[in-house]
Amino acid sequence: MAREGFIGCPMTMHEKRSGWWLSWVLFAGLVVGVPVLLVQLSLRGRAGRDVTTDVEGHGWPRTLVERLPDGREGRRLVLPAPPQRIVSVTLATDEILLDLVGSERIAALSDFARTPESMIKDRVGHIGRFVSADAESIIALEPDLCFLASYNRDETRSLLIDSGIPVYVFHCFRGLEDIRSNLRMVGRAVGAEERAEQLVADMDRKIAAVARRLPDRQRWPTALVYGTSGWVEGAGGTQTEVFEAAGVRNAAAERGIRGFAQVSEEAVLEMDPDYLVVLVGSYDVARQKEWLLGNPALATLRAIRQERFVSLREALLTSVSHHVADAVDELARQVHPNGFSGEQQ
């Protein structure tokens, strides 16, 4: 087997473990009660989209070659044939793979695939194995391709590569274009390019269908995902792009916030969003909404006074696969119901 590891976008483990990663841990664990595993769903790489991947060879074997922004060649991943024993350790690639290849080619998906935060939890009963980022358990499966992400430990990646297992590591999950790129790269890696293009086209078609039903931008309301610890997400991430695609302006981004930031209640009052987004999933939504309604410091918020809440499945809003198009659709239907009148969801 090939021994090279491949990295989709450059980002050090130090950067991963600080900054964005820490912010999302705090946001997920403290703000809305989302389990820490959502860090792994929503991690957005800070590296730019100028890093590209070339594919050498039209058939098999094929080599995936990373091209850095300065033109230098990065890592190389040599695949002798379409992989038949694929292991995915990330929920993003779980969701992508299940719609790309037959289950007979999936040796294991991640443990996260069967959790409430997964868009495929009801479809994975026939998958025989689920794994964590434990090198020994992955090696025992004898995969011919393993998908990791930047939050997985360096030691895990190194042990897999040293055992002769081809490894592809994803880092870039910060927006819709990254999702399209990742869909295509997984498709190339497993020999399902045409199917990957279909998934991209379906995703874009759903988003375009929503766009046709939206009012002019000046009539778009603002919305905010906000909770007890005060962490919000501003511009530069998938959440803002989902909001925009659904005809919603991110109140945090409108205030000039980029990435994740902890803001005071006074700052939220200044944002004064038209809607507050309450995520539905593995935590007590009623308690979260009760806290928002019962917080005297937020009582003058327009969304509180008018009780304008949007309930959105956390698995949708945190998705970094093609299922993100469903988040756009669901959000738009709640905020712009007139645009979807007479149409069943």
For residues 246 and 214, give the distance between their C-alpha atoms in angstroms, rounded to a whole number.
8
Q: pTM of the entire structure?
A: 0.82
Beta carbons of 40 and 151 less than 8 angstroms apart: yes
Mean pLDDT confidence for 313-337: 94
- Which of 145-154, 222-231, 320-329 is modeled with the greatest confidence? 320-329
Q: What is the pLDDT of residue 61?
A: 93
Identify the pLDDT of residue 344. 55
Average pLDDT over residues 286-300: 87
Tell me the pLDDT tens digit for each residue of 218-273. 999 999 999 877 889 999 989 999 999 999 999 999 999 999 899 999 999 999 99
Q: Which of 270, 278, 228 is nearest to 252 (CA)?
A: 270
Is domain 5-206 classified as CATH 3.40.50.1980?
yes
| Structure confidence at residue 13 as a pLDDT band (50, 70, 90) | very low
Dump pLDDT digits (tens) for 104-146. 999 999 999 999 889 999 999 999 899 999 999 999 999 999 9
Q: What is the mean pLDDT of the chain?
A: 83
* Percentage of residues in the chain having pLDDT higher than 90: 61
Identify the pLDDT of residue 281: 72
Q: Where do the structural domains in the chain lie, given as residue ranges?
A: 5-206, 214-340
Could you tell me which CATH number the domain at 214-340 has?
3.40.50.1980
Residue 50 confidence (pLDDT): 53
pLDDT value at residue 194: 96
Which residue has better confidence, 40 or 12? Answer: 40
The angle, 0 to 180 degrees and rounded to 10, between the axes of the packed helices 193-211 and 238-245 is: 50
Assess whether pLDDT exceeds 70 at residue 9.
no
